[in-house]
Chain A
Amino acid sequence: MSTKSLHIVEGVRLPFTKAGGKLSRLSAGDLGTAVVKGLLARTGIDPAIIDEVIMGCVCQPAEESNLARVISLRSGIPQHVPARTVHRNCASGFEAITQAAEKIAANRGDIFLVGGVESMSQVPLLFPQSASSKFAQLAKSKTLRSRLGAMTNFRPRDFSPVPALLKGLTDSTCGMGMGQTAELLARDFNISRERQDRFALSSHKRAIESTARLKEEIITAFDHYQKPVLADDGPRPDSSLEKLNRLRPIFDRRHGSVTAGNSSQVTDGAVALLVASEDACKKYDLNPIGRLIDYAYSGCQPERMGLGPAYALAKGRKQGAPELSEIDLIELNEAFAAQALAVMDACKSEKFCHEKLGLEKVLGEMNEEIVNVNGGAIALGHPVGATGARLVLSALKELKARHQKTALATLCVGGGQGGALWLERN
């Protein structure tokens, strides 16, 4: 155990709320500032000792360039503390943590404020590029005549903005939307609609049952009108197989099985973690809740990005990370039920592990009992930049509650990647 490993001292998150809903009027900067201020107040540390602020964010707001810096300054962290924003799609929350780990290992700092923020509500509408250049031309026209001329250049389709969100959720390298990759996996692994819906139901049920436990990691948020928001609003107490069954597939309308009900929700959220080296913990008398033992990122086929976690686990095995059999708790991001189930099936499939991952032995079984015990992204939502950090926070809090030792947090990444973090309770 190297003294240069990353310890997680404490973390908090805002309630995760549906996009377009309760916290939709707050910008990513507002969300991030609220969660960082809350963490600083709760830990009581002097922000001047922080070496850097690293925040993950996918849909970075145009007016809050280098979001991490904006959050850092607005939260009252002194100007001398540098900040950077990181982006590895859905693994941005992981990325913030692992970059801090690398800096600690390289002796380039001891205390970091990390996390992830996403306001999927405030992702802008984009004008098509054709329209952009026409607007520019109009702005440049000085005379009445040229202005009139510029105006007549526009066509009706120039005025149909496209939600950037839609564009972001489509992988340009393979031309598939995220949902379509899930459909592909459902077919590959023969995962029935019913099985997906059951999985989704379980996610909601577990989230509802864990409301009290989740409260520990959540701080009260205040919306645009300063009204309090206390809890995640994604989980549905009234979810049922009948209701889920009634939904129509959205990515493949005729033959598909992936619906809005068995996909992760589009959500606003923010997570902040205080992480430090062992030396710093001793120096500042900090009591960490956990430690990062190992991590791995791996690339995979973009069309089957959902299997990313399996690839990351395979890489982990080569590094000597704990086996699945040694894990007490798993946080497996539920981008889609089909995707999560495919991962679970792939990990225990000899054929898959041998042919695709080049492993001699199978990765192992992910026991449903220990996977996403407090619900997952289907119920809680998936604010893309923040999710990675939430998985880590939740896993550590749950390990403590259960008096258990080792956890695995893993997710798939659009564009064909997988990330995995192995954690241990202190």
Chain B
Amino acid sequence: MNNQRIQITNHSDRTVTWTLERPDGRANVIDQLFLDEMSHALDELEGDKLVTALLIRSGHPKIFLAGADLTTLSKLGSEDLQNLLQYGQDTFTRLSRLDLTTVCAINGPCLGGGYELALACDHRILSANPNAVVGLPETSLGLLPGWGGCYRLPRLIGLSRALPTLAGGRPVRPKNAVKLGMVDQIVSEESLEQAAREVLNTGKASPRLHLDNLPLIRNLILFLGRRSILKMTKGKYPAPIAALQVIRNGIGSGLSKAMEKERDGFLKLAKSETTSNLLHFFFLRERAKKVPAPKGGSDLPSINRVHVIGAGKMGGGIAQWVASRGIPVILSDLSPDALSLGLSTVHSLLAQASKRGILSSLSARQSMDRITPVCESVPIREGDLVIEAIVERIGAKRTLLADLDTRSPVNVPIATNTSALSIDCMGVAMENPSRLGGLHFFNPVHRMELVEVIHGQKTDPAVIRSLLGFVNRIGKRAVLCKDSPGFLVNRILVPYLVEAAILWEEGNDPRAIDRAMTGFGMPMGPLRLLDEIGLDVAGHVAKELKFRLPRLAAPPPLLKQMNEGGILGRKSGSGFYLYSTNKRGKVHPNRELLKLCRRAKHKSSISEMSNRMNLVMLNEAARCLEEGVVDSPKDVDFGMIAGTGWAPFRGGPLRYADSIGLRSIAENMERLANSLDERFEPCQYLLDLARKNLAFYSESTYSISPLSSNQKERITQ
């Protein structure tokens, strides 16, 4: 291997092959060196009149080519960024202008800049392996394709297909890629190179004519596209609109004008706060893949089977997820009917996944086969992991844990999925409490990638290492928390929901309360969320939290009354809102509630309400750091975004707080504490930071942690 990025082979049949491969074996990425070598290689090809065709392939088994490394990108100043964009654009344009036929053999992920290079070729042949995704996901990071993607994709596949792909920013699987025309054909992994070589002598691709791209039609498409993008982003995410803008400007113009628009659009976004926040979240997610594992204790045997005890909604969801990740599961419950419900949950989840093309029907059947339902105690052996997801009652859990402790080898870790109870409290019933930890999944398991891994006081560090490794293995992301009321997410979320209920009691319209927060950027309003979670579950957690943290605001008697009246939210057909059986259509506030509870007439404005609810959340978030529930503000922000959908474009509650300034936040809170109630009193940690004029993120060294040079885009379900 003579080069660092692109290995060039000249063949006797007058074709040339570029093999994208690094001597250190790391993933192919487009950096300065890559562009330099490509530029140099183009010099040679442009000068050579004899070469007829060029094949571009990857020498890395798992990836074709990633775009620019985000860490590097995020550190560049405006001018350097401008130059990098220009350089990439020019290089790719040179590729597109070569007289010879150019073909890409895409064997693995080819996203962002990597796909922009492929777009500059005449032909693209894709492997049928479902991991071989293509696409331009820049908008999901608050950026846009800046190396010719906005210019070339609509010209290749037509505006009506290019726009949703670009604006949506999602990776596209092979089957869809060929349907859209993003690649010419898909072939089996083994035949990829041969198929690509056969295409070498088919000649240059002629420019495609698309009806969509004609002036009148494209205007209509752009108009409709703009409307649907705005609807989706609610105006909070500028990148998709910016991409649309760039496309609009570029589609009628010549190449150099279009490229200029791309650069300008990219640079503008790069400076925006939203993009900065989205990148921040991207790095947080990457960081969550490598949670530093505590040292100590001797390693447990690696996990090859999971017992899920309790076949309720969570148990079923966990069983389905784990089984579809290839790990056999024993799903147990005392009652065959409960087990039956759990299996139905699994079955319908698998059917959904199959329908949406995420799992083939064979994979779905195989996942179902991996689950063994049992109504009895079965032997537990080394290599097992036990996850208990039974009813949230400390007595029942203690009994179960004591039983598990006696009848299983000590080096089998036991994890509880409790959302509100204390691990240490549960462990008192066990002889070996060191084997107990927490694995708190979020509902619904198949859509929420966050898992809180809980460290009890007595938990053996080896158990934590085992649990962290397991979370990674099943494709979830972990936040390591201390055993503390509500752990991280519920600790912050529930007082916020309680505040929303308090606002309702004060006489505010539930729609206004919810709008206050959806306007802020939450995916769902707090009262709607309470209905979704279920007033029974939420009520239990709120009660438990208040019991363990007396300082919190008491949940208003309203919640208890709703519980007792069977008004449990969506699951019972009515909560704060009324739910009819058909899921679509607006939901109406439940006027029956007014009979249950007299409300005061103290209405607040939308901004006052969002202020109160946000500050309550913030206070608890600060307390989580203060009490050492988690180590870093990054854990808090990641947990809240991944666990509740907290406005990602704001980067997380603590980053948002920093952007406002902790001084003014502390003052705001004191004002409310004086005028309303002491629950708004800022916590000591917040006050200290405010006084010293620091920020949450300035305590630790806030630099984006260095990533591996893969820019792996996650394909989330």
Which residue on A lies nearest to B330, using beta carbons?
A41
Bound CA–CA A76/B329 (angstroms): 11
Bound CA–CA A222/B316 (angstroms): 15
Least Cβ–Cβ distance between B335 and chain A, in angstroms: 9
Which residue on B lies nearest to A73, using beta carbons?
B369
CB of A37 closer than 8 Å to a CB of B: yes
Looking at the complex, which of A42-50, A79-87, A239-247, A406-414 is the stretch in contact with chain B? A42-50
Bound CA–CA A176/B378 (angstroms): 47
B376 touching A222, Cβ below 8 Å: no
Residue from the list B340, B347, B375, B381 in contact with A44, Cβ < 8 A: B381
Least Cβ–Cβ distance between B69 and chain A, in angstroms: 40
A41 touching B375, Cβ below 8 Å: no
CB-CB under 8 A from B366, the residues of chain A are 74
Most buried by A among B339, B373, B381: B373
Least Cβ–Cβ distance between A332 and chain B, in angstroms: 31
A228 touching B336, Cβ below 8 Å: yes
B369 touching A220, Cβ below 8 Å: no
A75 touching B369, Cβ below 8 Å: yes
A40 touching B375, Cβ below 8 Å: no
CB-CB under 8 A from A46, the residues of chain B are 381
Residue from the list B347, B375, B379 in contact with A220, Cβ < 8 A: B375
A44 touching B379, Cβ below 8 Å: yes
CB-CB under 8 A from A225, the residues of chain B are 344
Docked complex: A215-243 residues within 8 A CB-CB of B = 219-220, 222, 225-228, 230
CB-CB under 8 A from A309, the residues of chain B are none
CB-CB under 8 A from A40, the residues of chain B are 372
Which range holds the interface residue count of chain B?
20 to 34
Bound CA–CA A40/B344 (angstroms): 22
Q: Give the number of A-B contacts (CB < 8 Å).
A: 47
Least Cβ–Cβ distance between A71 and chain B, in angstroms: 10
A220 touching B339, Cβ below 8 Å: yes
Residues of A within 8 Å of B, CB-based: how many? 20
CB of B521 closer than 8 Å to a CB of A: no
B381 touching A226, Cβ below 8 Å: no
CB of A89 closer than 8 Å to a CB of B: no
Docked complex: B326-366 residues within 8 A CB-CB of A = 328, 330, 336-337, 339-340, 343-344, 347, 366
CB of A38 closer than 8 Å to a CB of B: yes
B372 touching A38, Cβ below 8 Å: yes
A44 touching B344, Cβ below 8 Å: no
CB-CB under 8 A from B374, the residues of chain A are 38, 41-42, 219
Residue from the list B343, B369, B375 in contact with A74, Cβ < 8 A: B369
CB of A298 closer than 8 Å to a CB of B: no
Bound CA–CA A46/B301 (angstroms): 15
A43 touching B379, Cβ below 8 Å: yes
A226 touching B378, Cβ below 8 Å: no
Bound CA–CA A74/B373 (angstroms): 14
A46-B381, A225-B344 given; A41·B337 CB < 8 A: no
Least Cβ–Cβ distance between B311 and chain A, in angstroms: 11
Bound CA–CA A225/B346 (angstroms): 11
CB of A264 closer than 8 Å to a CB of B: no
Which residue on A lies nearest to B304, using beta carbons?
A46
A38-B372, A42-B376 given; A226·B330 CB < 8 A: no
B336 touching A226, Cβ below 8 Å: no
Bound CA–CA A346/B347 (angstroms): 53
CB-CB under 8 A from B336, the residues of chain A are 220, 228, 230
Bound CA–CA A227/B343 (angstroms): 9
CB-CB under 8 A from A219, the residues of chain B are 374-375
Bound CA–CA A44/B340 (angstroms): 22
Docked complex: A176-233 residues within 8 A CB-CB of B = 219-220, 222, 225-228, 230
Least Cβ–Cβ distance between B547 and chain A, in angstroms: 37
Which residue on A lies nearest to B378, using beta carbons?
A41
CB-CB under 8 A from B330, the residues of chain A are 41
Least Cβ–Cβ distance between B323 and chain A, in angstroms: 11
Which residue on A lies nearest to B332, using beta carbons?
A41
CB of A60 closer than 8 Å to a CB of B: no
A222-B373, A226-B340 given; A44·B378 CB < 8 A: yes
Listed in ascending order, the chain A residues whose CB lies under 8 Å from chain B are 33, 37-38, 40-44, 46, 74-76, 219-220, 222, 225-228, 230
11 further A-B pairs in the complex, CB-CB below 8 A; given A37-B369, A41-B330, A222-B373: A33-B369, A41-B378, A44-B380, A75-B369, A76-B369, A76-B370, A220-B339, A220-B373, A222-B340, A226-B340, A228-B340
7 A-B pairs with CB atoms under 8 Å apart are A42-B379, A74-B369, A76-B370, A220-B339, A222-B343, A226-B347, A230-B336
Query: What are the 7 A-B residue pairs with the smallest beta carbon separation, nearest first?
Result: A44-B379, A228-B336, A226-B343, A37-B372, A226-B344, A41-B378, A74-B369
